[in-house]
Amino acid sequence: MTKPEINSTKDTQNILRDRRSFLKKSTWATLSTLLGAEIVHAATMPEDYIPVALEQEFDPMKGKSEGMIIRNEKPWNVEPAPHLLNDPITPIASIFIRNNGLIPEDVDAATWTLTIGGESVVKEKTYTLDELKKNFKSYTYQLQLECGGNGRAGFYPPASGNQWAEGAIYCSEWTGVRLKDVLEDVGVKSDAVYIGYYGKDKHLNGDPNKVVISRGVPIAKAIQDETLLAFALNGKEIPLAHGYPLRLVCGGWPASASGKWLHRLVVRNKVHDGEKMMGDSYRVPKYPVAPGEKVPDKDMKIIESMPVKSIITYPKSGAMFNTSKKLTVQGHAWAGEYEVSQLEVSTDFGATWRKCSLKKPVNRLAWQQWSIELSFPQVGYYEIWAKATDEQGISQPMVMPGWNPKGYLNNSCHRIAVKVS
């Protein structure tokens, strides 16, 4: 059979839809044949469930760029396979790239400035990078940043946008000065409500006067200790693709709130209304909606703290091993502004769950490492599902949360496939 040519995201979605339709009508015996192994816990597999191994085998991007999957080339949008995120501190080579425009050229840190203005500052002020480093104390935090659309590929029917799987998340070490210290130096009026950022990225159409993205956060988030004007990533200069030479970093919120190539901040007396703050950009319905339903703008809310979530980073999905060996499974968990209180795994499609060892975060807004040792006495196909619960008692849904127009906030359980021989 000739492999279909994939020409667009729409083509990919249509093929995946046809594939899912076929698989949903298949019997356990047919699925076991396709997997090459007996489905050990088939009796507890949810109705119409598609084994993760079959979804992955049909991924048209599989194997591209040695584990770094290119979702888009203009602008650059790239994510790592989950196993590349196994380190407690994500190495720069494994950090996802999410850009809305073109990366700026001819960046000169020596002449770079940051201007802070807006309706709610006492007096507009401009700083060089050297002044920020010399005049304010530097801090270093491990901070998790996740794309608001991470997991979008898991929505059905498909939502529009880059079809991120599970890799648009990382937790690296950021160094910079606290935004609240700089705002105190500038002077903020009592009517301040929000901040908004502006970067030096270029619009895809080449218009130098058109803003690519200008988002922000409420003042309460802006003055948290961990909100940084960062100039270093993992102890080195920030790479150009990740915002060199200066980036706003707001851990625990959608990564789009952490503006790259930062050159201007505005303190607003209202919710910031910059590019990609309105409509359905980084906003979700206030109530459940049916797939495809149109939602009035007044019924949309801005995404703030990201939901509780986890990822399995070892072993890789598709791993094969012998029944005589125990398997150490490990990964990370996070919950936006909150701490994760429990991590569980299931090997029988969610019928039963086992509690894992879970570490405390290194600092607030850092992700947490978890691990467990599993035994598989019977030969066959298994799936490992991971489920985190945060300190509020909120747990990840097993399969898919409520649909929304842009496919944001999919925090369903991460699943991997393993075969035991």
Residue 98 included in any domain: yes
- Range in 4-8, 127-131, 287-291, 315-319 with the lowest mean pLDDT: 4-8
Which one, of 270, 269, 267, lies nearest residue 185 by Cα? 267
Overall domain count for the chain:
1
Q: Confirm whether 145 is domain-assigned.
A: yes
CATH of the domain at 230: 3.90.420.10
Closest-CA residue to 18 (of 44, 46, 50, 62): 50
Q: Is the pLDDT of residue 15 over 90?
A: no
pTM: 0.87
Would residue 119 count as lying in a domain?
yes
pLDDT at 399: 80
- In tens, the pLDDT along 64-112 reads 346 788 888 888 899 999 999 999 999 999 999 999 999 998 899 999 9
> Is residue 164 a contact partner of residue 152, using CB atoms and an 8 Å limit?
yes
Find the mean pLDDT for residues 32-51.
73
Average pLDDT over residues 138-160: 94
Region of poorest pLDDT, from 116-125, 150-159, 162-171, 318-327:
318-327
Q: How far is CA 392 from CA 129, 352, 370, 386, 388, in A?
A: 40, 22, 19, 18, 12
Q: What is the pLDDT of residue 7?
A: 42
> The sheet that has 354-355: what strands, in order across it?
319-321, 414-420, 380-390, 340-346, 354-355
Residue 60: band (very low, low, confident or very high) from pLDDT cuts 50, 70, 90: very low
**β-strand pairing of 76-80 with 68-73:** antiparallel
Residue 131 included in any domain: yes
**Nearest Cα residue to 98 out of 50, 148, 49:** 148
- Let me know if residue 287 belongs to a domain: yes
| pLDDT, averaged across the chain | 89
Between residues 63 and 87, which one has the greater pLDDT? 87
Residues 369-379 pLDDT 10s = 999 999 998 89
Whether 382 is covered by a domain: the verdict is: no
Q: What is the 3-state secondary structure (H, E, C) of the chain?
A: CCCCCCCCHHHHHHHHHHHHHHHHCCCHHHHHHHHCCCECCHHHCCCCCCCHHHHHHCCCCCCHHHHEEEEEECCEEEEECHHHHCCCCCCHHHCCEECCCECCCCCCHHHCEEEEECCCECCCEEEEHHHHHHHCCEEEEEEEEECCCCCHHHCCCCCCCCCCCCCCEEEEEEEEEEHHHHHHHHCECCCCCEEEEEECCECCCCCCCCCCCCCEEEHHHHCCCCCEEEEEECCEECCHHHCCCCEEECCCCEHHHCCCCEEEEEEECCCCCCCCCCCCCCEEECCCCCCCCCCCHHHEEECCCCCCEEEEEECCCCEEECCCCCEEEEEEEEECCECEEEEEEECCCCCCCEECEECCCCCCCCCEEEEEEECCCCCEEEEEEEEEEECCCCECCCCCCCCCCCCCCCCCCEEEEEEEC
* Residue 13 in this model has a pLDDT that exceeds 90: no
Range of the structural domain that residue 189 is part of: 92-302
* 327 is a domain residue: no
pLDDT tens per residue, range 296-333 = 999 999 999 999 999 999 999 998 988 777 899 999 99
pLDDT at site 61? 36
- Report the alpha-carbon distance of residue 210 to residue 227 in Å, rounded: 27
Q: Which residues pair with 195 in a beta bridge?
A: 217, 267
In a domain, residue 307? The reply is: no
